[in-house]
Chain A
Amino acid sequence: MIPRHQTILFIVLLAASIVMGAVLWNLRERAHERLLKGEVSEPTQAPQVAPAEQATLMVANDADNTVTARVLTLPLPQNPEARARALLGKLFDLYAATDATHRVAGGASSVAQVFLVPIVKTNIHREDGDAGPSPASLANPTGQVLAVVNLTGGFVSTHPSGIETETLTILSICSTLHANFPDVTQVRFLVDGQQRPTLAGHADLTRTYLTEDTVPIAGAQP
């Protein structure tokens, strides 16, 4: 049998413990709030900004079916794939402007990714009859690069339909990549990571475009 005074003492101590716990929790919350209020949220270091460089954008013009070079000074990342994406993003920003010579909505976010893939020789027939690339050819790529441009579905669905306008978009992408990455000799297109038959009903998106062929015939003579 527990004496009565010990029971009362236990209850008093228990109540005191609970009260002290509550007080401590309250003090902790107040201290945390004071800490947050006193913290300086502004960055203490300036963000890393890429140095501005000259880049050549090949800008399309619907009025005369031409693609002309425009040299701009832009901050560009050093990573080649990010750099290619930034260049095409700037090109699409120009096309999204109200006074654009080749109006296409979407802007820079229309380019999801650009992949730069070294081209390896695949026409070497090994003795075992397999036409795939040999280990030697994989180790010694041609020095040429295939660019795979992954466009967004939103961009493609809002692209104006027409042979001329679609062709100019493709030509300007291919020639912009080649102007800034001379090793890019071939360009392929994906839309949301998938192959798509045409850009907006006309220009073929399933073929591999050779950058040496991407200068359109200007003027009226064939």
Chain B
Amino acid sequence: MVVLDAAHGGDDAGAGLGNTPEKNYTLSLSVRLRSLLMARGFQVVTTREADATIEPDRRAEIANHAGAIACLSLHATESGSGVHIFVSSLAPAGTAQFLPWKTAQSAWVTRSLTLAGVLNSALQHAGVTVTLGRVGMPGLDSMTCPAVAVEIAPQRTPDSPGGESLEDFGAQARVAEALAAALVDWRSAGRGVRAP
């Protein structure tokens, strides 16, 4: 099981990406990635299928009820280059029967960092520039699964400082293929077990 969280939606448009709001971009990426993952034998749960407002806590609830081996929160931005992969900045903590809601991810941070490494390798193999970081983010911090936020930015190169457009069909497909390949690797290597 994999959870895909298309960020924003409804009243929350997210960042402006030229003519496309972030909420539309993340939804299209979620739909594309879901198709790729289902074709590879994954069960996929999405936090939204339409332009709907969903609070961060509700997104975490959906992810936590799914019992997923990986949770990807999908974002997009005009700043930076390539793909930014963020893991919760909570300090790793031991698991417990009851976890504080706002810091539940702390029991999973170590595995989330490993998942980020797998995604990083696959994206770099696909020729995508990757930047890794840590973030404090509502929703992500409450997920009880290996969870990362994946933020897509225009791929900038010295020859193309403006970067290729986020609306470029090929760029989105390349990132989605690399993410799907990484999740296959994550599952097949036996790292996709549920325990933190």
Residues of chain A whose beta carbon lies under 8 Å from any beta carbon of chain B: 62-65, 160-165, 167, 170, 197-198, 201-204, 206-207, 209, 213, 216-217, 219-222
Contacts and interface: CB of A to CB of B under 8 A. Distances in A.
A207 B132 contact: no
Interface string B1-30: 000000010001011100000100000000
A65 B91 contact: no
B84 interface: yes
A63 B156 CA distance: 9
A163 B138 contact: no
Contacts of B78: 160, 162
A163 B149 contact: yes
What is the size category of the interface that chain B forms with chain A? 35 or more
Which 8 A-B residue pairings sit nearest by Cβ, starting from the closest? A162-B77, A161-B15, A204-B136, A65-B131, A222-B117, A62-B79, A165-B79, A164-B84
15 contacts: A65-B84, A160-B78, A161-B15, A162-B77, A162-B80, A163-B151, A164-B131, A165-B77, A167-B135, A202-B135, A204-B137, A204-B138, A209-B136, A217-B133, A220-B124
Nearest to B12: A201
Given A197-B138, A202-B135, 11 more contacts: A63-B80, A160-B78, A164-B79, A164-B131, A164-B153, A170-B136, A204-B141, A206-B138, A216-B133, A219-B132, A220-B124
Contacts of B134: 167, 213, 216-217
Given A62-B80, A63-B80, A161 B141 contact: no
Contacts of A160: 15, 77-79
B75 interface: yes
Contacts, number: 99
Contacts of B102: 207
Contacts of A198: 137-138
Contact of B151 (A162, A204, A206, A217): A162
B120 interface: yes
A115 to B, nearest CB: 21
Nearest to B77: A162
A64 B81 CA distance: 8
A136 to B, nearest CB: 29
A163 B116 contact: no
B130 interface: yes
B113 interface: yes
Nearest to A102: B79
Contacts of B124: 220
Contacts of A203: 135-137
A20 B141 CA distance: 85
